[in-house]
Chain A
Amino acid sequence: EPEVTQTPSHQVTQMGQEVILRCVPISNHLYFYWYRQILGQKVEFLVSFYNNEISEKSEIFDDQFSVERPDGSNFTLKIRSTKLEDSAMYFCATRSLHTEAFFGQGTRLTVV
């Protein structure tokens, strides 16, 4: 069964460093998303991406964050100058036009 693949599964970084979280979407999917879940809290929407551009972003997704599809397959989330409060599980999700959203297993980001 096709699946969304995220790497790394766990990333520890020092405060102020930049991190890149990677996602390989399901091959025929057109819509891509990043969500995050701070420990014990709700899953929160960060950004949606379609046709090589951001289609919607939340208030959380400020200038510290960026997304891109550098090679037409991988979908990445870059977090610049990480803060302690960026520690969370980050999920990539993808879907095609009329299907459900499929989520990856997540990247646990720990900022120390």
Chain B
Amino acid sequence: DQQVKQNSPSLSVQEGRISILNCDYTNSMFDYFLWYKKYPAEGPTFLISISSIKDKNEDGRFTVFLNKSAKHLSLHIVPSQPGDSAVYFCAASARLTGGGNKLTFGTGTQLKVEL
């Protein structure tokens, strides 16, 4: 049961254009969402996050939008740069009954920014 889904395994965008990466989730208990970026042979690195009480969070070229009614979030990168080429993972956080929280990851989207 994939609770966090990234339906596009890959995305190709021209340099300078907008990249839009999508993520859908099924568990309404998720209360915090994060995007991680991963280069080959490295671990994922945190990019940006959003609380479920907000619908938008912006950090420089990166903006995350959350649509709770649709259980959908997206990451916008504007303008896209070749260095943005990486795998992007969406992750969602839910509280555990025993305390703490658990992150559930999507399967990732490979972004390629072409010159």
**Are these two chains actual partners, yes or no?**
no
| A residues adjacent to B (C-beta < 8 A) | none
The residues of B with any CB-CB pair to A shorter than 8 Å are none
